[in-house]
Amino acid sequence: MESAQLAKIFKALGHPTRIRIVQHLIEIDTCICGEIVGIFPYSQSTISQHLKILKESGIVCGEVEGPKTYFCVDKAVLKRLKQFVNAL
């Protein structure tokens, strides 16, 4: 992985709320935006924006199912991230 792509992932994780979203997604395996909105003291649009950033970095993926979108952590990307960090 090149530093530009890695930087994007690190940048995405460079916000407390987004770290906790990722942690929650790993625990829960998958969940919809609305559930995450219920956990944090931020508006729906803000959480949606955070999810967009996480998605764009590649660490999280979302699957549209009807009106809902199911989010989950991309395990392959997470694995690559772990490999990179461990190689440091």
Partner DNA sequence: ACATGTCATCGTTAAATGCCGATTAACGAT
Partner DNA sequence: ATCGTTAATCGGCATTTAACGATGACATGT
What are the structure tokens assigned to 60, written together?
A: 């999280």
Are 9 and 19 a contacting pair, CB within 8 Å?
no
How many residues are listed for the chain in this entry? 88
**What CA–CA distance (Å, rounded) separates 80 from 63?**
21
Please identify, using beta-carbon distances, which residue of 10 and 70 lies nearer to its own copies: 10
Question: What residues numbered 2-41 form the site for its own copies, per CB under 8 A?
Answer: 3-4, 6-8, 10-16, 18-20, 22-23, 26
Please identify, using beta-carbon distances, which residue of 7 and 83 lies nearer to DNA: 7
Partner from its own copies, DNA, none binding residue 77, C-beta < 5-8 Å depending on class: none
- Provide the β-strand partners of residue 32: 70
Q: Is 47 in the site for its own copies (CB under 8 A)?
A: no
